[in-house]
Structure 1
Amino acid sequence: MGRLIALLILLIPGCLAAAGIKLMRDTVFGVLINPFQILWLQGLTGIIFFAGGLYLLGGFIFYRDRKRNQVSPRFRKKQRDRGA
C-alpha cells in the first residue's frame, strides 16, 4: 500500500512537468491555449511548471538515495559529535 501511495505522489509532479513541456512546445509553435491571453505568459508558465515538477521529482529521488546512503561522499549527511 505504501508503494502505491508513493507512486501516486510521484505522478503529480511528473504530470506537472509534462504539462510544462506541452505549454512550452505550444508556445514555440504559436498555439495559444485558452486560459492564457499572451503567448509569452504561456511560455513562462510552462517553464515554471517544468522546473517545479523536475525539482520535486529530483528532490524526492535525492532524499531517498541519501537516506539509503547511495550518494557520493560529498552529499552524505555530516555526522555530529555527541561528546560531553
Structure 2
Amino acid sequence: MIRLLALLVLVIPGFLAGLGIKLMRDMLFGILQPPFPFLWLQFLVGLVLFVGGLGFVAGFIFYRDRKNNKVQNRFKDK
C-alpha cells in the first residue's frame, strides 16, 4: 500500500511535467489550446508545470537517496 502511494506521488507530477512539455511544444508550432487566450501564456503555464513537476520528482528521489545514505558526502545531513 505504501509503495502504491509513493508511485502515485511520483506519477501525478510526472504527468503534469509531460503536460507542460506538450503545452510548450504546441506553442512552438503555433497551436493554441482552448483554456489559454494567448500563446505566450500557454508557454509560461507549460514552463511552470514542467519545472514544478520535474523539481518535485527530483526532490523526492534526492530525499529518498539521502535517507538511505546513497548520496555523496557533500549532500549528507550535517
TM-score of the superposed pair, with normalisation by structure 1: 0.91
Instruction: Flag the structure with larger Rg.
Output: 1
The equivalent residue for 1:15 is 15
Partner of 1:40: 40
Structure with the higher helix share, 1 or 2: 2
Q: Percent identity?
A: 62
Cα distance in 2 for residues equivalent to 1:73 and 1:34: 48
* Structure 2 unmatched ranges of 5 or more: none
Aligned to 1:50: 50
Q: CA deviation at 1:33?
A: 0.1
1:10 aligned counterpart, secondary structure? helix
**Which 5+ residue runs of structure 1 have no aligned equivalent?**
79-84
Q: Normalising by structure 2, report the TM-score.
A: 0.98
Give the Cα–Cα distance (whole angstroms) in 1 for the partners of residues 48 and 9 of structure 2.
Answer: 19
What is the aligned-residue RMSD (CA, Å)?
Answer: 0.4
TM superposition outliers: structure 1 runs of 4+ over 6 Å: none
Aligned letter for 2:34? Answer: N
Q: Deviations over 1:22-52 (max 9, x none)?
A: 0000000000000000000000110000000
Aligned length: 78
